[in-house]
C-alpha cells in the first residue's frame, strides 16, 4: 500500500478539499475520489526519503557502498549540469514516441536513446530515468525528479498517459506540440535577427565615427574657422568629445540603464507593464498577441486531450504562458471553473482574446468538444503568426535601412556644414 496526497473539488459545496489516501496505485486513488464524489485536481504519491546506512567512522555509504564523509564536496563536472536545449529535448521526445509506437518497451527505448545521445546532460538524465523505471517507479516520477529539464506540462501529460494506458499516444502528441512550438519560436527569432543585427552595426559605425573620425574634423575646423561652427556641427562634436573622453562613464551608463531595465522587468508590476506594452505596440503587438493565443490554445487543448484534469491543465497553462497578462487571464478562468462557472466569461473580460477565439471556445464548451476546438484555434493562429512574421520582416527591413541612413547621414551632414559655410564665405 502507498500513500497519496490529493487535492480535489467537492461538486456539491464547490470547495477544495485536501487529504491522503492509502491505496495500491494512483489509478485506485482516482477511482476512490470519484466514489467520494470529488473531482481530482492533483494526486501525488507521498515520497519518503530513503534511510542512509552508516558505515564505519560515521561516513554515509552511497548506492554502491562508497563512503562519503562530512567534509566531502560534490564536484559538478562542466557539461553535466544545466538545462537541456529545447531542440535536443524535442528530438528525444519524437524518437521515444516512435520507439514506443513501434512496440519497444519504454525502458528499452530509454536505454537505446541513452547510448546514442551525444549531449552529456541529457544522456545523464536518460540514465536516471531508466534507473527509476528499473527500480519499480513510473516514467512520470522519474521526470518529476528532473524538474530542471522537464517542465510541468511534460510531466503532467506523461502522468495522464500512464493512467490512461496510452503513453505512446501522449508522447506522440507531446512531440507534435513541441515541434510546432519550436517552429513558431524559430520564425519569431529569425524575424528579430535582422533588426538586431542592423542595430549592432549602427552602434559600431557610430562608435568608430565618434571616436576616430570626427575628432580629426574638429582639429581641421578649429584651425580654419575658429569657433564659428554651425549649431548642429557643434552638437555632434560635443557628443563625440563626451564619448571619446568619457568612454568608461558612457559604457557604465549604458550598462546601468540595461541593468535597471532588466531589474524592472523582474518585478511583478514591471513585468506586467512590459507584457502589456508588448501586446499593444503597433505591428509587434499583433505578433505577440497571436503567438500568446496560439500557445494558450495548443497547450490547453493538448493537456485536456491527454486526460489532464481541467483545473490542473489551467494551472500548467498559466505557468507556461510566457506573458503575465495572459497568465492573469488564465488564472481568472481557473477561478471561474473552480466555482462551477464557464470558461467564456473570464476570457471575454480579459480583453486579450479576440471574439472569434471566445466564440469557438464557447461552442467547444457547449458541445463537449473543447480539445478539438482549441486545436483548431491553435492551427488558425499558427498560420496567422506565419503571415504576421512575414509582414513584420518586410516592414522592418526598410525601416532599419532608413534608420541606419539617418544616423550616418546626420553625422556626414554635420561635418559638411562648415565646409559649405566656408565656400559661401569665399563667394
Of the listed ranges 3-7, 18-22, 132-136, 375-379, the least confidently predicted one is: 3-7
Residues 174 and 188 in one domain: no
Q: Residues of the chain with pLDDT > 90: what percent?
A: 2
Q: Torsion angle of alpha carbons 395, 396, 397, 403, nearest 10°?
A: 120
Q: Torsion angle of alpha carbons 352, 358, 361, 362, nearest 10°?
A: 140
Residues 290 and 200 in one domain: yes
pLDDT of residue 56: 38
Residues 126 and 186 in one domain: no
Domain final residue, candidates 132, 155, 178: 178
Residues 321 and 341 in one domain: yes
Residues 212 and 235 in one domain: yes
Residue 355 in domain: yes
Q: Cα separation of 217 and 417, whole Å? A: 12
Q: Going by C-beta distance under 8 Å and a sequence separation of 6 or more, which residues neighbour residue 417? A: 229, 230, 232, 233
Regarding predicted confidence, which is higher, 426 or 396? 396
Q: Cα separation of 232 and 421, whole Å? A: 13
Residue 162 in domain: yes
pLDDT of residue 204: 86
pLDDT of residue 49: 43
pLDDT of residue 80: 34
Residues 172 and 282 in one domain: no
Residues 307 and 220 in one domain: yes
Residues 20 and 154 in one domain: no
Q: Cα separation of 350 and 330, whole Å? A: 9
- Would the pLDDT of 290 be above 70? yes
pLDDT of residue 79: 34
What value does the mean pLDDT take over residues 126-153?
A: 87
Residue 84 in domain: no
Residue 344 in domain: yes
Residues 167 and 227 in one domain: no
Count of domains forming the chain: 3
pLDDT of residue 309: 84
Of the listed ranges 51-65, 66-80, 220-234, the least confidently predicted one is: 66-80
Query: In the structure, what pLDDT confidence band is assigned to residue 13 with cuts at 50, 70 and 90?
Result: low
pLDDT tens digit sequence for 63-113: 333 333 333 333 333 333 347 888 889 999 999 989 888 888 888 889 999
Helix (H, G, I), strand (E, B) or coil at 55: coil
The distance between the two most distant Cα atoms of the chain, rounded to a whole number of Å, is: 104
Q: State the chain's mean pLDDT as an integer.
A: 79
Query: In the structure, what pLDDT confidence band is assigned to residue 59 with cuts at 50, 70 and 90?
Result: very low
**DSSP assignment letter at 354:** -
Residues 210 and 341 in one domain: yes
E strands, 60-118, are 60-61, 67-68
Grid cell, residue 416, equals 559638411
Domain final residue, candidates 178, 206, 227: 178
- Would the pLDDT of 238 be above 80? yes
What value does the mean pLDDT take over residues 183-191?
A: 81
Q: Cα separation of 368 and 149, whole Å? A: 34
Residues 174 and 232 in one domain: no
Residues 273 and 389 in one domain: yes
Domain span at residue 168 reads 90-178
Domain final residue, candidates 136, 152, 178: 178
Residue 365 in domain: yes
What value does the mean pLDDT take over residues 371-383?
A: 86
Which CATH number characterizes residue 173's domain? 1.20.81.30
Query: In the structure, what pLDDT confidence band is assigned to residue 308 with cuts at 50, 70 and 90?
Result: confident
Amino acid at each position: 500500500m502507498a500513500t497519496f496526497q490529493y487535492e480535489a473539488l467537492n461538486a456539491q459545496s464547490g470547495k477544495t478539499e485536501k487529504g491522503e489516501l492509502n491505496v495500491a496505485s494512483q489509478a485506485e486513488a482516482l477511482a476512490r475520489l470519484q466514489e467520494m464524489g470529488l473531482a481530482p485536481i492533483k494526486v501525488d504519491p507521498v515520497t519518503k526519503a530513503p534511510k542512509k546506512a552508516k558505515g564505519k567512522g560515521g561516513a554515509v555509504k552511497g548506492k554502491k557502498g562508497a563512503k562519503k564523509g562530512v567534509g566531502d564536496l560534490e564536484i559538478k563536472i562542466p557539461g553535466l549540469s544545466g538545462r537541456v536545449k529545447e531542440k535536443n529535448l524535442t528530438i528525444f521526445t519524437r524518437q521515444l514516441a516512435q520507439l514506443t509506437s513501434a512496440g519497444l518497451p519504454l525502458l528499452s527505448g530509454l536505454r537505446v536513446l541513452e547510448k546514442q545521445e551525444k549531449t552529456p546532460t541529457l544522456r545523464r538524465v536518460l540514465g536516471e530515468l531508466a534507473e527509476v523505471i528499473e527500480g519499480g517507479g513510473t516514467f512520470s516520477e522519474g521526470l518529476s525528479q528532473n524538474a530542471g529539464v522537464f517542465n510541468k506540462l511534460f510531466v503532467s501529460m506523461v502522468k495522464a498517459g500512464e493512467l490512461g494506458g496510452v503513453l505512446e499516444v501522449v508522447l506522440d502528441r507531446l512531440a507534435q506540440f513541441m515541434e510546432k512550438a519550436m517552429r513558431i519560436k524559430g520564425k519569431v527569432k529569425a524575424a528579430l535577427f535582422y533588426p538586431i543585427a542592423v542595430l549592432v552595426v549602427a552602434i559600431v559605425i557610430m562608435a568608430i565615427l565618434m571616436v576616430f573620425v570626427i575628432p580629426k574634423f574638429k582639429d581641421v575646423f578649429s584651425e580654419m574657422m575658429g569657433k564659428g561652427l554651425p549649431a548642429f556641427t557643434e552638437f555632434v562634436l560635443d557628443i563625440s568629445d563626451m564619448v571619446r573622453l568619457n568612454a568608461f562613464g558612457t559604457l557604465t551608463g549604458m550598462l546601468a540603464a540595461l541593468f535597471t531595465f532588466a531589474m524592472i522587468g523582474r518585478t511583478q508590476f514591471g513585468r506586467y507593464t512590459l507584457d502589456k506594452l508588448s501586446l499593444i505596440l503597433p505591428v509587434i503587438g499583433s505578433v505577440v498577441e497571436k503567438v500568446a493565443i496560439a500557445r494558450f490554445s495548443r497547450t490547453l487543448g493538448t493537456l485536456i486531450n491527454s486526460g489532464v484534469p481541467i483545473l490542473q491543465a489551467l494551472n500548467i497553462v498559466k505557468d507556461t504562458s510566457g506573458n503575465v497578462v495572459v497568465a492573469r487571464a488564465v488564472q481568472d478562468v481557473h477561478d471561474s471553473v473552480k466555482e462551477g462557472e464557464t470558461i467564456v466569461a473570464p476570457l471575454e473580460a480579459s480583453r486579450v482574446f479576440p471574439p472569434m477565439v471566445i466564440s469557438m471556445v464557447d461552442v467547444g464548451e457547449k458541445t463537449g468538444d473543447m480539445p478539438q476546438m482549441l486545436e483548431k484555434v491553435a492551427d488558425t493562429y499558427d498560420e496567422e503568426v506565419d503571415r504576421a512574421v512575414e509582414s513584420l520582416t518586410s516592414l522592418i527591413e526598410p525601416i532599419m535601412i532608413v534608420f541606419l541612413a539617418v544616423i550616418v547621414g546626420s553625422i556626414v551632414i554635420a561635418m559638411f556644414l562648415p565646409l559649405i559655410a566656408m565656400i559661401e564665405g569665399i563667394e
